[in-house]
Amino acid sequence: MKTPWWFLHKTPLAFLLLPFSLVYYVVSRMVFVWRSMFAYKSKRGVICFGGILAGGVGKTPVVRAVAKMFDSPVVMRGYKKSAKTNNVGDEAVMLANAGIAVHVGNRKSNVILLDKQSDKTPIIMDDGMQNPTIKKDISVLVFDQSLGFGNGFILPAGPLREPRSAVNRADAIIVIKNTKVKKNFALPSGVPVFYAENETIVPYKQGTKMVAFAGIGYPKKFFNSLTGTDVVATRAFSDHYQYTDKDIQDLFDLAKKKDAVLITTEKDWVRLPKSVQKEIKFARLETKIDKSFFVWLKEKLNANNQGNG
């Protein structure tokens, strides 16, 4: 679905939805507590990267960077995974294209299978902050400065999966810097905070007219990243959108009308039919994380290993 417009602002509609947020929170906590009673402890160690906002914070490039550094496998649910269509999810394909071993499906089952291997590298768990079925050795929350906590409300009144106090469960926080910082975005002083910067690499020459389209959590983030380029039109779709032949033809027609080329995100590009991937390019997103984070992470892993030894 498209990210509701009220997620970033305290509108009258957001306040009207607050009773439903209370129900969502109570039910989700009951499920969380019940599932945590059957949590599995991996012998290899699990580093979890998660968020408390519903989508769009930029976790995947962070997961990719850490998994490549440790040569670690990644376990993830796989959004809209389907055996019928062989779809394993756009994020899984992105990570696999980077040479990372990705295990999609039931994360607990995959961790148990990975424990049977002789490999001792840590397992990276993608988007597992709200999944208590696996005990995490290290939990890292990811935020985007431009989104912050959104409007501060829990689903469906706002984008939060759980209250802001959930940040205290994290061992560390990575904040992706942005030119626009969300008002009232303040993090607790007791949790180490590290920063990362995104750079969008446009594959076209400067001055090339472009029609940008995206089906991600917050399409405006992508469109704003193209500031300074010649974007003549934009089209936003719902998160993880599966493009139809008509959608693609409409995009080509719009580009032709504007005498422009098409550009999208890598997550969108991997969802396009292979027959059109050569005709549409994606803007590569490079995330550079502070080196101090990797120093902290290695020290934390070593301390955990000594404690388990």
Query: 145 Cβ partners below 8 Å, 6+ apart?
Result: 175, 176, 177, 178, 180, 181, 182, 185
pLDDT score at 1: 64
Across the chain, what does the average pLDDT equal? 91
Say whether both 149 and 298 belong to one domain. Answer: yes
Nearest-5° Cα angle at 47, 306 to 292: 80
**Confidence band of 81 (pLDDT split at 50, 70, 90):** very low
30-39 average pLDDT score:
95
Q: Which domain holds residue 126?
A: 5-32+39-197+288-308
Paired tokens of 85 = 């269509």
Query: What's the CA gap between 256 and 253, in Å, rounded?
Result: 5
Say whether both 119 and 254 belong to one domain. Answer: no
Query: 110 Cβ partners below 8 Å, 6+ apart?
Result: 75, 103, 104
Query: 197 Cβ partners below 8 Å, 6+ apart?
Result: 176, 177, 287, 288
pLDDT score at 83: 40
* Number of residues that make up the chain: 309
CATH of the domain at 203: 3.40.50
pLDDT surpassing 90 at residue 247:
yes
pTM of structure: 0.89
User: Could you tell me which of 56, 112, 67 has the C-alpha nearest to residue 224?
Assistant: 56
Paired tokens of 114 = 């990975």
Say whether both 174 and 93 belong to one domain. Answer: yes
Say whether both 146 and 274 belong to one domain. Answer: no
202-215 average pLDDT score:
95
- For 98, which DSSP code? T
50-64 average pLDDT score:
89
pLDDT score at 86: 43
Q: Is 66 exposed, middle or buried (0-12, 13-18, 19+ CB in 10 A)?
A: buried
121-136 average pLDDT score:
94
Per-residue pLDDT tens over the stretch 9-19? 999 999 999 99
pLDDT surpassing 60 at residue 91:
yes
Say whether both 177 and 205 belong to one domain. Answer: no
Say whether both 109 and 240 belong to one domain. Answer: no
Amino acid at 67: A
Per-residue pLDDT tens over the stretch 154-204? 999 999 999 999 999 999 999 999 888 888 888 888 899 999 999 999 999
- Domain total of the chain: 2
